[in-house]
Structure 1
Amino acid sequence: MRNRKDNFDFRPIGHTIKEARIRQGLTRKQVGEIIKIAPRYLINIENKGQHPSVQVLYELVNLLDISIDGLFLTELTDGKSNKRKQVERQLDYLSDNELVIVNEVIQAILQV
């Protein structure tokens, strides 16, 4: 069996789950008790982009009344491609010095 690297950045979905949970006034512990998962697992989904099982994702979107289309088809609603949004999110992890380098690379590409 070959090793497969997950290319899908789950952090935006985790953030959406967190926002919906907070909006409904539920704690991680409460959600965990309802859908039978550890609060630590939910923390990792919400904050670190851990990929939940399909069953857990299904239970979360039903409990928190989240549109599954909105999670995966955001490109249709905001006009930005998933790749563009992924690059934007990665920029948040760069230092100011690293952003200067990225900006210079972008400027060089645009001049071609």
Structure 2
Amino acid sequence: MSRRELAENVGIDPRYLANIELCGTIPSVPVVMQLIRICKLPAERYFNPELLREDSEQRQRTSHKLQLCPEKYLPIVEGVIDGAIKLKVADDEKEDV
């Protein structure tokens, strides 16, 4: 779903949605609830401060994007993650030498 389509479904301006997504603008509770419902996001991630503190902003963004990723492309994403983990292990082994 495009940003424009999502904004229309939520009933907000696409620029406002872009500001929420890219600039960290904090939306009102009704807007958050609509976004959670429409995007089928886990509500507890947004209302449980303990969970929010666990992940960096980049991990939260990546997790959100992963939820939006079509199922058929998940093997590609998983392969990239596996490759990144292997690089990290190799870097750690080099540092230990």
Q: State the TM-score, normalized to the length of structure 2.
A: 0.49
TM-score (norm 1): 0.43
Pick the structure with more helix per residue: 2
The higher relative CO (CA closer than 8 Å, separation ≥ 6) is in 1
